[in-house]
Amino acid sequence: MIRALCVLAVSALLTTPALLTTPALAEPFTVTPIDVPEMKALYGRIESRFVVPARGRTGGTITVLDVSEGSLVTEGQVIARILDTKLELQLAATEARIEAMQSRLRNAEVELARSEALLESGTTTVQRVDQVRTTVEVARTAVDEAGAAREVARQQIAEGGVISPAAGRVLTVPVRLGEVTMPGEAVATIAGGGVFLRLAIPERHAADLSVGTGVVSQGGNGQIEKIYPQIENGRVIVDVAVAGLSDSFIGQRILVEVPVATRSVLAVPPAAIVSRGGLDLVRIAAPEGEVLLTVVPGQTIGTDAGALVEILTGLRAGDQVILP
C-alpha cells in the first residue's frame, strides 16, 4: 500500500519533460542488506605508558635546574644538580691529607735509600733497614687509603647530578632552584614510553568489544589493544593505540568513535538518487515497468565497492535500482 502511494505521489512528476527523457542506463543495482558498525561517541584521555620520577641520590641545595614542565628529555640526561657543601669540604680535607701522606712517603723513601747505603758500607744493621722499609710500606698504604677516600668524595659529589631515568616529557617539577632537598626526593616526574588513549565505555557494550577493533578519533585512527576485565562504576576500561598521537598534553580529552554493535541497512549508489520538487527519488525496475519511488536518504557509508547512501525508508531488499 505504501509503495503504491509513493507511485501515485510521483505520477505527476513522470509527465514532466525532464523525467520523460530516458538516459543511458547501466546495469541495475540490486538492493541487499549491508552490515555497518554502530558507532558510540565518547571522550578518551591521552595517557602515557608510564610516569617515573627523577630522584636525587644525595641531599643538598639545587644549584642547577635545566628542565621545566613540558620539557623533552632523553634517557640518562642530567636535568639538575644538587650540591652538598660538606662534601666539597670533605674532598678538600682529603686532598690535604694526601699531600701530607705523600710528603711522609717521600721522606721515608729517602731514609730507606740512606739506610740501604749505610748497610752496604757496614755502618748500620739489617734490623734498622727493615724498620725503615716497613715505615715506607705504611706510608705508601696510607697514601693509597687517602686516595680511595678522595675518590669516594668525588663520587658523592658526582651523584649530585639528577639523571632522567627515561626519555619523555617532563610533567611536573615540584622543586625550585636554590631549594634544599633530601636524598631520594623527586626533582621531576617524566612521562615516557609513548602515549595512548584510555576510554571508559558503558558496560552494556562490553560484550561487543574486542582487541584489534578499529577506532576513529580526532588524533587519528587506531585500534583497541587492551580491554581491562574489571568494570568500575558501570564502565569498562579500554586502551587504544593511535599512531602519531601527540604527547603535548597528557590527560587531554579528545572525541572518539568506537564501534559497539552492527546494524543492517539498505544502501544505493549516490548516482541512483535524484531530486525533483523537493523529493528524493529512486528509479526501480518493476513488473509494470520503471517506477519512481520516494525515499528518505541517510548517511553515506564507505564500503569495499565504494561509497553508498543509506536509505532509511522507501526501498526493500531485492529491489532492482536503475542507475544512469
Do 295 and 256 lie in one domain? The reply is no
Do 281 and 293 lie in one domain? The reply is yes
Do 185 and 65 lie in one domain? The reply is yes
Region 296-307 average pLDDT: 82
Last residue of a domain, one of 158, 181, 206: 158
Q: Which residue has the cell 711522609?
A: 104
The model scores a pTM over 0.75? no
CATH number at residue 60: 2.40.50
pLDDT of residue 25: 53
Q: How far apart are CA 12 and CA 51, in angstroms?
A: 70
Q: Answer whether 272's CB lies under 8 Å from 311's CB.
A: no
Do 171 and 72 lie in one domain? The reply is yes
Q: Which stretch of 24-28, 50-54, 161-165, 277-281 has the lowest confidence by average pLDDT?
A: 24-28
| CA-CA-CA-CA torsion sign (56, 58, 60, 64) | negative
Is it the case that residue 168 has pLDDT exceeding 60? yes
Query: Looking at the 3D structure of the chain, how many domains does it have?
Result: 4
Is it the case that residue 163 has pLDDT exceeding 50? yes
Do 91 and 152 lie in one domain? The reply is yes
pLDDT bucket at 188, cuts 50 / 70 / 90: very high
Do 57 and 16 lie in one domain? The reply is no
Mean pLDDT value across the chain? 84
CATH number at residue 299: 2.40.420
Do 152 and 93 lie in one domain? The reply is yes
pLDDT bucket at 47, cuts 50 / 70 / 90: very high
Closest CA to 164 of 75, 82, 83, 80: 75
Q: Which residue has the cell 505504501?
A: 2
Q: Is residue 35 part of a domain?
A: no
Do 90 and 154 lie in one domain? The reply is yes
Q: Is residue 62 part of a domain?
A: yes
Is it the case that residue 155 has pLDDT exceeding 60? yes
Do 57 and 107 lie in one domain? The reply is no
CATH number at residue 205: 2.40.30.170
- Parent domain of 184: 51-76+165-190
**Residue/partner pairs of 94-97 with CB below 8 Å, 24 or more apart:** 94/146, 94/149, 94/150, 94/153, 95/150, 97/146, 97/149
